[in-house]
Amino acid sequence: MPEATPSDSTTESQNGVQIDLISGSRMEGLRSMEKIRLILDGVRDGNIVILEEGLSPDEESKLIEVTMTEISPDEFSGIEIESYPHEEAADQSFLDRLMGRESTKKLTVIGPANQIETLHKDDQLISALVSRK
Amino acid sequence: MGLLTNLRDSVSRVTDRLFASDDPKRIGIYGPPNAGKTTLANRIARDWTGDAIGPESHVPHETRRARRKEGVDIERNGRSVTIDIVDTPGVATKVDYKEFLDHDIEKDDAIRRSREATEGVAEAMHWLREDVDGVIYVLDSTTDPFTQVNTMLIGIIESRDLPVLIFANKIDLDEADIKRVADAFPQHETVPLSALEGDNMDEVYDKIAEYFG
């Protein structure tokens, strides 16, 4: 059976806001650009994408870069992204850092910039207002 | 990425820095829009070379291309350090041309500016991943530093093991809160300054020499 994609279930989204909660294990098997494509395709459809385990710093950098290339007047103005603060590497060994094994497990919320507004954020709570298109 | 590839990249980064220690370091000036990056870049360039780098403006995304000033010699404590300054566009995750309309800019010009701004931010991210040896991260000390863009950018810089200095700019303004900036990123040294007024530039140059020399 083919693996379901978040966009398979968008038929009802005209009446509300679709939220895709993507597990860490789902993202683990994807290449960086596949992750970015998955996120941006969802966001450009007006969905709110919630990643259980977030992206690595390098992937975040590429997400910003690709987002910039896709911004288009009156169509797509970019993304709003929020995650809990990066837990500093207190629990990471020097070897982990040397090998690039960065801890990236941080719940991350991403949505279209014109539909999601962060109301409050601290190290334990992200509160966001989501509107329809 | 495989274990061996990671190890090879890490070793390569360390050896590159060791063996290139005499070359001028490319120092990227990063931060959100309107933090005063170009004002700082111009201040440094004027103080040490007599030339400016680019136009300053209160309109966000005035800098839409990374601009470079090569061979800036900074003399501190009897020795000289040479850096190349790269003034980068303010990093954001969204650019809406309508924001430019609030600054009395016509729609066509606003759309052109927003397009250039998006290209500039993408370029800045590319520089950060590939082409800088150290980072000056400039924050407006009158605004909340605890934003997602700042957190992500600092995380990206840390993941690349780049030396970074946090500059809390605009301390000449009454609303400036240096402690708030320092508390947001306690793992890095924060230097207060006013690039516009030239306040505390001695410490700025001491720290640049110490971190990037």
Residues of B in contact with A114 (CB under 8 A): 96
Mean of all residue pLDDT scores within chain B: 88
Nearest alpha carbon to residue B90 among B44, B45, B143, B14: B143
> Are B29 and B87 spatial neighbours (Cβ–Cβ below 8 Å)?
yes
Rounded Cα distance, B88 and B123, in Å: 8
* pLDDT digits 0-9 by tens, B155-167: 999 999 999 999 9
- A52/chain B closest Cα distance in angstroms: 17
The closest CB to that of B95, out of A71, A101, A102, belongs to: A71
CB proximity B97 to A under 8 Å? yes
- The whole-number average pLDDT for the span B169-189 is 96
Answer for the pair B100, B114: CB distance below 8 angstroms, yes or no. yes
Which residue among B10, B114, B152 places its CB closest to the CB of A73?
A: B114
**B178/A contact by beta carbon, under 8 A:** no
Q: Are A55 and A22 in contact (CB under 8 A)?
A: no
Q: CA gyration radius for chain B?
A: 17
Task: Name every chain A residue with its beta carbon within 8 A of the beta carbon of B151.
Answer: 83, 85-86
Phi/psi of residue A50, nearest 5 degrees: -115, 120
The type of residue at B36 is: G
Residue B128 vs residues A17, A73, A107, A123, B53: alpha-carbon distances, Å: 35, 26, 24, 26, 19
- pLDDT, residue A89, reads 46
pTM of the predicted model as reported, rounded to 2 decimal places: 0.84
Residue B14 has pLDDT above 80, yes or no: no
Q: Most B CBs within 10 Å: which of A35, A58, A68, A96, as the mutation test of the B interface?
A: A68
Distance between CA A88 and CA A106 in Å, rounded? 12
Interface check B101 vs A, CB under 8 A: no
Of the pLDDT bands very low, low, confident and very high (cuts 50, 70, 90), residue B18 is: very low
Taken as a whole, chain B contains a residue count of 213
Q: Which string of b and e fits B52-72 if b means at least 16 CB within 10 Å?
A: bbbebeeebbbbbebbbbeeb
Domains of chain B in sequence order: 22-212 (3.40.50.300)
Residue B193 has a CB neighbour count (10 Å cut-off) of 26
Euclidean distance between CA atoms B111 and B94, whole angstroms: 14
Distance from CA of A78 to the nearest CA of B (A): 4
- Mutation to test the B interface, candidates A71, A83, A102, A118, most B Cβ within 10 Å: A71
Burial of B16 (0-12, 13-18, 19+ CB in 10 A): exposed
Q: Which of chain B's residues have a Cβ under 8 Å away from the Cβ of A57?
A: 152, 155-156, 158-160
Q: Average pLDDT, stretch B60-82?
A: 86
- CA–CA distance from B86 to each of A64, A102, B136 (Å)? 19, 27, 10
CATH code: domain A17-130 is: 3.30.950
Residues from chain B that touch A61, judged by Cβ atoms under 8 A, are: 125, 128-129, 152, 156
CB contacts under 8 A, A 87-126 vs B, are 88, 98-102, 113-114, 118, 121
How many angstroms away from the CA of B179 is the closest CA of chain A? 17
Shortest Cα–Cα distance, B73 to chain A (Å): 31
Which ipTM did the prediction report? 0.82
Residue closest to B147 by CA, chosen among B29, B57, B31:
B31
Q: What does the pLDDT read at residue B84?
A: 94
Which residue has better confidence, A100 or B34?
A: B34
The per-residue pLDDT for B213 is 79
